Structure 1
Amino acid sequence: MGEYLLRLALLLPLLGALVYGSLRLTRFLQGRLVGGASEGRVLRLVETSLVAPGLRLAVVRFHDREILIGAGRGGLVRLGEAPARPPARADARADVRAEVGLARGAQGDAP
């Protein structure tokens, strides 16, 4: 009985560490493969949306084109295509607010 408890005390934390490590490795590799830096890549996933269980819409950027794809249990279907939008800047709103503030300040100074 004592030998069993000793093995359990040693192997259970080891098993937990292996599970934790595999989950961390999976998360790291998924982020690297899907959401990582896409410089130099031809195909890039822009956005996905779950429409219904088993039905998903995806926007894929390919050679300066954005393609809308429907993905379901039956496979993939191309739904539409458009020219690629320029990537949105993170500080675009700050720039717009600054311009609006400057415009308001210029109007306030006029008699």
Structure 2
Amino acid sequence: MVWYIVKLLILLPLIAAMIWGSLRMAQKLQKKFMANGNGRSVKLVETLMLSPTQKLLVIEFHGREILVSTGRQGMTRLAEAPARVNLPEDDFEETFREGPDFAQTLRRIDK
């Protein structure tokens, strides 16, 4: 009986460590192989749940953004537009700071 408990105390943490290690390795490999710019021509830009059975999706495909509705009946293309140009983060922050800040907006609303 003592030998069984000793084996259990040794093997149980070993098995748990092997499971944890394999999950970490799978996670790292998934990030490596599923990175953006992997030669894929389709990219999911944004999703919005309208109801439990309906979603709106924005899909980027060859420089075009396509608005798609999905539901129980299937997928329907709603609109199509040229892809938006992503601004660098520095430009975005400067543009965002040009407008009134949140405290000024609240002061105007309270008046």
Q: TM-score range by the shorter chain?
A: 0.5 to 0.7
Once the two structures are TM-superposed, the CA of residue 95 in structure 1 deviates from its matched residue by 3.7
What RMSD in Å do the two structures reach over aligned CA positions? 3.0
Normalised TM-score (structure 1): 0.62
Partner AA of 1:91 in structure 2: D
Look up the match of 1:93.
92
Partner AA of 1:62 in structure 2: F
- The separation in 1 between residues aligned to 2:71 and 2:29, in whole angstroms, is 25
Superposed CA offset, 1:48-95 (max 9, x none): 334443544332211111122334555544333221111232112344
Normalised TM-score (structure 2): 0.62
Answer yes or no: is 1:21 the counterpart of 2:57: no
Where do 5+ consecutive residues of structure 2 fail to align?
Answer: 100-111
Q: Would the aligned equivalents of 1:51 and 1:57 in 2 still touch at CA under 8 Å?
A: yes
Where do 5+ consecutive residues of structure 1 fail to align?
Answer: 101-111
Number of positions where the alignment pairs a residue of Structure 1 with one of Structure 2? 99
- Percent of aligned pairs sharing the same letter: 41
1:48 alignment partner, SS class: strand
